[in-house]
Structure 1
Amino acid sequence: MATVLIVDDEFGIAELLDAVLSDDGHTVVTAANGRQGLARVEAGRPDLIFLDFMMPVMDGPAMLAALAADPETRGIPVVLMSSMPEDTVRERATGQAAFLRKPFRIRQVHDLVATLLAGGGSDH
């Protein structure tokens, strides 16, 4: 199975995603902001990242830009998550493999993980 990094300052969201993905057999690593997320990536390259848009210290767009700037990490698929509409998020962030609007359904998470780990993109 895959290693999935969850970067979200909302403990409940991170905990839910951790439980769902762990139950599916994935190894889950979590971080509370983009700076911690980049440190986790440096410690061990994940296969997939769920990244919150708005966080303290370093937000999602800044972490996404840092990942894209590094040849070692730019190929990691990132699911950008937000309660804001996707059009609003796209004004500040580019390069994500998929978008997940909060609140989301668990089925959406399963579908995104399956699609992205198989090498595809999605617009959920």
Structure 2
Amino acid sequence: MAKIVIVDDDPDVVGTLRECLVDEGHEVYTEANGLHALSTMLHVRPDLALSDVTMPDMGGVPLLTAMRDNAFLDEVPVIMMSATPESKVADQCSGYVAFLQKPFTMKSLVEVVNWHLSEAAKPRTLRR
């Protein structure tokens, strides 16, 4: 069982993702913006984080930057999610391990999450 933080301001998206990952046996924490997620992650270091790019208060890009600048969170794999194409997201940030373009299937979510959790012990390649 892995600890996963989901960060998205859409309660329907959060609910669906949470349900799917809990069904997979994971311990899931949810937050509606990056600022709250950062606080949660400093208390419960997750094994993986899923973050939307655009959210109020603190979006996914500044959240990812804050995580990479924090020694406690800098190695946590982050999967970015957005309706915006990855090419535009990649222009704004680096340091994430995977990208899911919304809408995506729960099957693709589970595959990406499980693959990155299995790779967590290995050195990872960050998207640049």
Match for residue 24 of structure 2? 24
Which amino acid is 1:68 matched to? R
Match for residue 46 of structure 1? 46
SS of aligned partner of 2:5: strand
Q: Scaled by the length of structure 1, what TM-score is found? A: 0.95
CA distance in structure 1 between the aligned counterparts of 2:69 and 2:49, rounded to whole angstroms: 16
CA distance in structure 1 between the aligned counterparts of 2:77 and 2:13, rounded to whole angstroms: 19
CA distance in structure 1 between the aligned counterparts of 2:68 and 2:108, rounded to whole angstroms: 25
Shift of 1:26: 0.4
Is the contact made by 2:42 and 2:73 (CA closer than 8 Å) also made in structure 1?
no
Q: Scaled by the length of structure 2, what TM-score is found? A: 0.92
Which amino acid is 1:105 matched to? T
Aligned length: 123
SS of aligned partner of 1:76: coil
CA distance in structure 2 between the aligned counterparts of 1:4 and 1:70, rounded to whole angstroms: 18
Which amino acid is 2:38 matched to? L
CA distance in structure 2 between the aligned counterparts of 1:119 and 1:39, rounded to whole angstroms: 25
SS of aligned partner of 1:91: helix
CA distance in structure 2 between the aligned counterparts of 1:110 and 1:9, rounded to whole angstroms: 20
1:65-115 residue CA offsets vs partner (Å, 9 max, x unmatched): 000001211110000000010000101111001000000011111111111
Structure 1, unpaired ranges of 5+: none
Match for residue 59 of structure 1? 59
Is the contact made by 2:34 and 2:55 (CA closer than 8 Å) also made in structure 1?
yes
Which amino acid is 1:8 matched to? D
Identical-pair percentage: 36
SS of aligned partner of 1:30: strand
Which amino acid is 1:89 matched to? V
Match for residue 36 of structure 1? 36
Structure 2, unpaired ranges of 5+: none
Match for residue 91 of structure 1? 91
SS of aligned partner of 1:67: helix
CA distance in structure 1 between the aligned counterparts of 2:43 and 2:17, rounded to whole angstroms: 21
Which amino acid is 1:37 matched to? A
CA RMSD of aligned residues (A): 1.5
